Amino acid sequence: MNDALSTFSVRGGRPLKGEITVRGAKNLVSKAMVAALLGEGPSVLRSVPDIRDVQIVGELLKVHGVKIERDVVGGVIRMDPSNVEKAHVVDIDAHAGSSRIPILFCGPLLHRLGEAIIPDLGGCRIGDRPINYHLDVLRNFGAVVDKRELGIYITAPNGLKGTKIHLEYPSVGATEQVLLTAVRAEGVTELTNAAVEPEIEDLIAVLQKMGAIISLQTDRTITIEGVERLGGYEHVALPDRIEAASWACAALVTQGDVFVRGASQKEMATFLNIFRKVGGGMDITEAGIRFFHPGTPLKAIAVETDVHPGFMTDWQQPLVVALTQAEGISIVHETVYENRLGFTEALNDMGARIQVYRECLGGSRCRFGRRNFNHSAVISGPKDLHGAEITVPDLRGGFSYLIAALGAEGVSKIHGIDLIDRGYESFREKLTALGAEFWED
Ligand SMILES: CC(=O)N[C@H]1[C@@H](OP(=O)(O)OP(=O)(O)OC[C@H]2O[C@@H](n3ccc(=O)[nH]c3=O)[C@H](O)[C@@H]2O)O[C@H](CO)[C@@H](O)[C@@H]1O
Ligand SMILES: C=C(OP(=O)(O)O)C(=O)O
């Protein structure tokens, strides 16, 4: 175990009961903040959660001259990009490895400054996570990409021009790259096989408020007519459907009853279907969703992760913990990331029975079939979980360990808990509100 990591101890066995609130989605807020860079006037974003990714993007905006005012408690961030300027390489490099968002600064910085320097990316290590689509997209618009020792240096000597782009896979980040570049490129851009996640639709709404002209067809085609200028925006971020689903799984595993204020049915429809099939109870209201264990045995299921409107990959890890409590054999086929099942090893140390396979099990053949990636899991349940000493591997894996520890008999020691702050606002306070017993060493 790494002693340098902060340690969080949890005594499991108490049902989580009560109410918590989710605010804006990590995967929209950070991108809407980047979009503010494109405007000539200030932008105001509301329902901003207090998570580390927001802080990191805020700092990156600041080093580029954006004036930021933030009301952390009220969840409001005001960004004034009137004086965007070149940042010092050392200031940019200070953010190397911290998040995946810097790659999305390319289009806005090229439009504003004619060049962009992008540090090495961070984010969860759940696969190789290449950026080839991003760089191809930028080259398509006419950008010149130069890989240097301290990151990537991008210029657009002849400006950025609208183009036709087809994505080999509907990547969320690459779709956002196209949007954030095309809105001010000269002429029309047509993107086919685009990702259509709710966070992307919300980013389109933000850009439209700024003056962009974007249409989204039902066949994953997005057309963007470039405009010369964009203004600021005022926007309320859509709620975080990943955080909401994570608390739903925590309610199930601990035999609890949690009202997640802010959870929205529309963006969670696919998760809600699976939660119901597993046997979870729910009451859907306008204000939020109550998730509870109905007292009857949970049922095993087969599920595969997919791009929207499929079952989201970021829901997979919390759901796997819930499936350790279901009666029978569940199958989970991870088709978005090749390496997102490593976290199951520690669950097995806690008493779960999960076997991982290279084959595509229980669903269609995916990009990872017949390759050396353990991307299918077979979960036999129900199994009583017991406390263990575990280290957080990534954001969702970390929250999943927390769920397992809350549902386990005895005390678990979780190392590296701070990683969870990247995407779960005030999770310690929320755990306290729900009656969990934990302490930090
Ligand atoms: C900050 C953020 O919004 N993160 C989300 C975003 O990540 P992110 O935008 O990084 O995820 P992508 O949709 O781009 O990745 C999907 C797949 O495409 C591959 N790929 C992607 C880009 C590329 O240039 N080349 C390539 O091969 C990836 O390795 C992965 O296998 O969408 C993922 C899929 O819903 C979510 O899990 C992440 O929470
Ligand atoms: C994979 C995730 O995020 P990121 O892309 O920021 O690593 C996540 O939120 O689960």
Q: Which pLDDT tens digit goes with each residue over 353-394?
A: 999 999 999 878 999 998 899 999 999 999 999 999 999 999
Residue with CA nearest ligand 2 atom 4 = 123
CB neighbours of residue 299 within 10 Å: 16
Confidence of residue 161 (pLDDT cuts 50, 70, 90): very high
Residue 412 and residue 380 in one domain = yes
pLDDT at 54 over 80: yes
Q: How many domains does the chain have?
A: 2
Average the pLDDT over each of 40-49, 121-130, 174-183, 363-372 and give the range with the smallest value.
Answer: 121-130
Q: 154-157 — which CB contacts under 8 Å span 24+ positions?
A: 154/106, 154/109, 154/110, 154/115, 154/116, 154/117, 154/118, 155/110, 155/114, 155/115, 155/116, 156/110, 156/114, 156/115
Q: Which of ligand 1's atoms lies nearest the C-alpha of 53?
A: 1
Give the whole-angstrom CA distance, residue 39 versus residue 61: 13
Q: Would you say residue 184 lies in a domain?
A: yes
Nearest to 320 by CA among 307, 302, 339, 337: 302
User: Rounded distance, CA 438 to CA 424, Å?
Assistant: 17
The answer to whether 100 is annotated as binding is yes
**Integer Cα distance of 324 and 401 in angstroms:** 12
> Does the pLDDT of residue 3 top 50, yes or no?
no
pLDDT-based confidence at 4, cuts 50/70/90? low
- Taking the centre of ligand 2 as the mean of its atom positions, its distance from the CA of residue 124, in whole angstroms, is 6
**Percent of the chain clearing pLDDT 90 (strictly above):** 89
CA 154 / ligand 2 centre spacing (Å): 24
Q: What span, in angstroms and rounded, lies between the C-alpha atoms of 432 and 413?
A: 17
Q: φ and ψ at 176, to 5 degrees?
A: -65, -35
Q: Residue 26 annotated as binding?
A: yes
Q: Is 193 annotated as a binding residue?
A: no
Residues 252 and 384 in one domain: yes
Q: Helices (H) and strands (E) in the chain — how many of each?
A: 13, 24
Angle at 73 between CA 67 and CA 79, to 5 degrees: 15
Say if strands 298-299 and 257-261 run parallel, antiparallel, or are unpaired: unpaired
Atom number, ligand 1, closest to the C-alpha of residue 101: 1
List, as one string, the DSSP characters of 215-232.
EE-TTS-EEEE--S----
Chain position carrying tokens 């099942």: 341
CA of 173 to the centre of ligand 2 (A): 11
Single out the residue in 180, 203, 236 at which a domain terminates: 236
Q: What is the mean pLDDT of residues 336-357?
A: 97
Beta carbons within 8 Å of 4's beta carbon, 6+ residues apart: none
| Atom 7, ligand 2: residue with shortest CA distance | 123
Q: 2: pLDDT confidence band, cut at 50, 70 and 90? A: very low
Task: Establish whether 314 is an annotated binding residue.
Answer: yes
Residue 73 labelled as part of a binding site: no
Give 1's pLDDT tier (boundaries 50, 70, 90): very low
Q: 395 CB less than 6 Å from ligand 2?
A: yes
β pairing state of 326-333 and 17-21: unpaired
- Is 344 inside a domain boundary? yes
Q: Which residues pair with 117 in a beta bridge?
A: 153
Please name which of 86, 92, 85 lies closest in space to residue 149, comparing C-alpha atoms. 92
Q: Are residues 348 and 319 in the same domain?
A: yes
Domain that holds residue 393: 7-22+239-440
In this structure, the answer to whether residues 280 and 422 fall within a common structural domain is: yes
Same domain for 353 and 269, yes or no, is yes
Q: Tell me if 312 CB under 6 Å of ligand 2.
A: no
Q: Can you give the pLDDT at residue 92?
A: 76
> Is 100 a pocket residue for ligand 2 (Cβ < 6 Å)?
yes
Which residue CA neighbors atom 31 of ligand 1 most closely? Answer: 337
So what's the pLDDT on residue 128? 85
Structure-block tokens of residue 115: 């060049």
- Ligand 2, atom 5, lies closest to the CA of 123
- Provide the pLDDT for residue 149: 77
- CA 32 remoteness from chain centre: 14
Q: Is the CB of 315 under 6 A from ligand 1?
A: no
Same-domain pairing of 30 and 138:
yes
User: What is the tens place of the pLDDT at every residue in 77-86?
Assistant: 999 999 988 8
Domain end call among 216, 236, 256: 236
Asked if 430 and 303 sit in the same domain, the reply is: yes
Ligand 2 atom at minimal distance to the Cα of residue 337: 1
Structure tokens at 136: 């191809």
Residues 16 and 35 in one domain: no
Domain check: are 337 and 206 in the same one?
no
The closest ligand to the CA of 31 turns out to be: 1
* Dihedral of alpha carbons 253, 238, 18, 295, sign: negative
**CA 328 to ligand 2 centroid distance, Å:** 30
Q: At 378, which amino acid appears?
A: V
Please indicate, yes or no, if residue 1 is contained in any of the structural domains.
no
- Of 182, 210, 236, the residue at which a domain comes to its end is 236
* CATH number of domain containing 367: 3.65.10.10
DSSP per residue over 340-392, as a string? --TTHHHHHHTT-EEEEESS--SS---TTTTSS---EEEEEE----B--EEE-
If asked whether residues 222 and 361 sit together in one domain, one would say: no
For residue 2, being part of any structural domain is answered with no
Contact yes or no for 37/64 (Cβ under 8 A): yes
pLDDT confidence bin for 291, thresholds 50/70/90: very high
CA of residue 178 relative to chain centroid, distance: 19
CB within 8 Å of 217: residues ≥ 6 apart: 223
Asked if residue 311 and residue 164 are part of one domain, the reply reads no
Task: Confirm if 333 and 323 have CB atoms less than 8 A apart.
Answer: no
Assess whether the C-beta atom of 424 lies below 6 angstroms from ligand 1: no
Which residues are designated catalytic? 124
Nearest ligand, CA of residue 32?
Answer: 1
Backbone phi and psi for residue 96, each to the nearest 5 degrees, phi listed first: -60, 140
